[in-house]
Amino acid sequence: MAEYRYVIAPPSVVAVPVAGGGAFPVRRVFCVGRNYAEHTREMGGDPDREPPFFFMKPADAVVLNGADMPYPPATKDLHHEMELVAAIGTGGADITEQEALAHVWGYGAGLDMTRRDLQGQAKKEGKPWDMGKGFDQSAPIGTLAAAERIGHPSRGRIVLRVNGAVRQQADLSQMIWSLPEIIAHLSALVRLAPGDLIFTGTPSGVAAVARGDLLEGEVEGVGSVRTRIV
Ligand code: MN
C-alpha cells in the first residue's frame, strides 16, 4: 500500500480499556434492534415475527467508562438502552452459528443512547435512524473482559440503575436472537472485522434521562458501565 502524506491529521484510533490491561481498538459499532420480547412490545412491535435487524454508530461515538456524557443537541427525549456488547476479534463473512463464538474476543456492558424523538420521527417517515442513534457520544461502554477469562455469557442478570433506582432488569437468556444467531445474520450482510463491536439489544424499561442523572449498568459475569449525563 502506498504511504501517504496526509493533508489533514488522520483520525485517532478509538480504544476501549480491557480488564487486566491493554485496550481493544474499535473499528465499527453495530447494534441489534428489538432483541427482547418485552422491549419489542413496548416499542409497538411483534416479537414473534420480526427477524433481527441492524443499525450502526460511528466508532468515535464510544464514551469510556466513568466519563460524562453530554446531553446531545436536537432532542427532548434522550433514552437509555442497557445492552451486552460483544467485541469481535476475528473477522469473517457468512459465519455459521456453530463457528460464531470463536470470532468473539470478549464482552462488555454498554448503553445504546437514543434520541427517541428523532428515531420516532424517522420511523414514521420511513427515513434512516442514523440521527436518532448514531450521534456524538451515544455509546458509553465499560471495560471489556476477554472471553478466555469469562467465557461466553448466554445467561445472567442485566440491569440498569438511574440515580440508584432500577430502571431495566432482565436476563441475557431472554434475548430473542442469541449472539451466535446475531453473528450469523450480520456476517451474511457484511464481512465482520477485528475491532467491530456488536450491541446485542436492550430489555424493556427504556425511558428518558435528564442532565445530572447517573447511569450505572451491570451485566452479571461481564462487567459494568457508568456515566453521568451533563
Ligand atoms: Mn439498542
**83 CA distance to ligand 1 centroid (A)?**
7
Task: Please tell me the distance between residue 111's alpha carbon and the centre of ligand 1 in angstroms.
Answer: 8
Write the DSSP assignment of 138-155 as a string of letters: -EEE--BEEHHHH---SS
Q: Give the residue-averaged pLDDT of 135-158.
A: 98
Spacing, Cα 158 to ligand 1 middle (Å): 14
90 CA → ligand 1 middle, Å: 23
Give tens-digit pLDDT for 11-42.
Answer: 999 999 999 999 999 999 999 999 999 988 89
Cα 151 from chain centroid (whole Å): 19
**Ligand 1 midpoint to CA 148 (Å):** 26
Does the predicted TM-score (pTM) go above 0.95? yes
In tens, the pLDDT along 92-113 reads 999 999 999 999 999 999 999 9
- What domains can be seen in the chain, in order of their start residue? 17-228 (3.90.850.10)
CA separation (Å) from 203 to 49, 111, 181, 211? 18, 12, 18, 23
Distance 199 CA to ligand 1 centre (A): 7
Distance in Å, CA 64 to ligand 1 centroid: 18
CA 24 to chain centre: 15
